[in-house]
Amino acid sequence: MSAQTTALNFNASAATTGNWRSRVLAIFLIVAIAGIFWVDSRYPALLKRYHAGTQVKASGALTFGTVYEVDRSMPLASRAWRTTVNWLDANRIGMTFSFLFGPAALTFLATLPRRRFRSRTLNTLLGAAAGVPLAVCSNCIAPIARGLFASGMSAESVLATMFASPALNVVVLAMTFALFPVSVALIKLATVLFLIFVFAPAVASREKVEAATIPRPIKIPSTETWPQATTGVARSFAKSFWYVARVALPLMILAAALGALVVELLPPQALLAPVTIGGILLVALVAAFLPVPMAFDVAIAYIAMTKGVPLPYVVTILCTLGITSVYSLSVVGKSLSWRVAALAYATVAALGTLAGLLTRMFL
């Protein structure tokens, strides 16, 4: 198996003190994109859901809100189409951010002489620290992760970022501990920490790194002027955007359709069935596949609990839904390797199954 990594738009000679203007412009670009998203959209939305408390609602199969109503009496094709449109609408802001932030991060990181430590532990901590404040779901983190890996960041850093962003955000954690018993919340936290600090470095240690087949670097003079820096950063961002979007955009549409089809195929009363080992495993496999927005896992698990769904199923949903998705896994497959994607899916499903079984035995 192989993974691809390189700096996309700047060569080593550019990563010197002489290109500080490019670095400043790239930082400004990152701060502007992230600041607008965090202040205007993401954190207000997360805080609104947190303050909703036990009144939190979700009207869509994969989304908090809907553009088109979906009724179970409709034909499957019609339901799947409407759910797909609802998903695309619900993710339009987050995806816009990720398709801009990923290339911006790649543009900045490519100006640095180093993007990783020799220690896998430090690389993992770096990825987790980067992911926590991002506040994007397992879907929106995928284009960003593709940009991070292309910049030369280590596989463990990228995977840690992908797991930390949807699951370790402070608002999402606060929601989890507010809505569920402490024992349930700790089980969820334990599975996330295992993925970040055990799975990510372990699977990354087995990766072989090869040169990526991406555009040749843009050469920047070692003593650039502001006009040269502006032009270079603009060109770098454009090439980075194309590198991210040409893979992540088609996969986003495909993932929306696949997720909608799978969720609409599920029987409405499936989770009210008696708890079995096979049932827990099936719930884990489906939940780890579905693409859902930020904090939807916490909300839907709580709603399921209040509607009488057995606690083992609830805990399994909480520990699998939202940490990975068909979209994030497909981008990992195209950017790192399909084996890593398969192992991530299997590990999340296994942890969710284990969490459900432990809940069945002890809670």
Burial of 240-278, coded b for 16+ CB within 10 Å and e otherwise, reads bbebbbebbeebbeebbbbbbbbbbeeeeeebeeebeee
- Cα distance between residue 181 and residue 74, in whole Å: 38
Contact partners, residue 196, CB within 8 Å, separation at least 6: 124, 127, 128, 159, 160, 163, 164, 168
Dihedral of the alpha carbons of 275, 281, 283, 289, in degrees to the nearest 10: 180
Full pLDDT tens readout for the chain, 363 residues: 444 444 343 343 344 445 788 899 999 999 999 999 999 999 999 999 999 999 999 999 999 999 999 999 999 999 999 999 999 999 999 999 999 999 999 999 988 888 889 999 999 999 999 999 999 999 999 999 999 999 889 999 999 999 999 999 999 999 999 999 999 999 999 999 999 999 999 998 886 544 344 444 444 455 678 898 899 999 999 999 999 999 999 999 999 999 999 999 999 888 998 999 999 999 999 999 999 999 999 999 999 999 999 999 999 999 999 999 999 999 999 999 999 999 999 999 999 999 999 999 998
- Which structural domain range is residue 13 located in? 3-362
What is the C-alpha to C-alpha distance for residues 344 and 86, in angstroms, rounded to an integer?
A: 27
Region of residue 2 (phi > 0: left; psi between -120 and 50: alpha; otherwise: beta): beta
* Sequence-ordered strand ranges (E) for the chain: 3-4, 209-210
**Structural domain total, the chain:** 1
